[in-house]
Amino acid sequence: MAARYPPSRPPIRPDRVRSTQGGFAFVPNRFLHGGFFASLNHAERALYLFLVLAADRHGLSFYRHDRICSTLEITLDEYLLVRDSLIAKDLVAFDGARFQVLSLPPTPIVQPRRPLLTQQDLEDDDPATIRQLLVRELGVRR
């Protein structure tokens, strides 16, 4: 049976149209159009996508932190921050041994940014200050 496409929107490669075979993974369009994608930073998006791809049809995956860190090329500290952020944003649940990718909440949960009050806050979280420190210490300029 030939697939039917609107005359103005045929696929670029009709021989390569995706279908679900053997595995199950999906990201709802609302993830992008509802603002969830924009509400996540790069590391959060990477872990979320990894968990979506690793999950079964119930959203469950059993990957351990060491394998996730290795695959995503992140440190344990980064993993813990990102994991906890996805939990706080109500996108995943974690019981200590397994993850569940959850159905999307009604709207993205955006964590308010804390004000940078001290020099240490600036050195930890302000990109301009971090760049200045690197230039000063390494003598590198772009």
| Cross-strand bridge partners of residue 99 | 61, 94
Global pTM reads 0.71
**Would you state the pLDDT for residue 76?**
95
Q: Which residues of the chain have pLDDT under 50?
A: none
Long-range contacts, stretch 72-79, CB < 8 angstroms, 24+ apart: 72/43, 72/46, 72/47, 74/43, 74/46, 78/43, 79/47
Per-residue pLDDT reduced to its tens digit, 6-39: 567 888 888 878 777 777 788 999 999 999 999 9
Q: Is residue 108 a contact partner of residue 99, using CB atoms and an 8 Å limit?
A: no
What tokens appear for 3 in the block? Answer: 């697939």
Q: Which domains does the chain have, with CATH numbers?
A: 24-105 (1.10.10.10), 114-142 (no CATH)
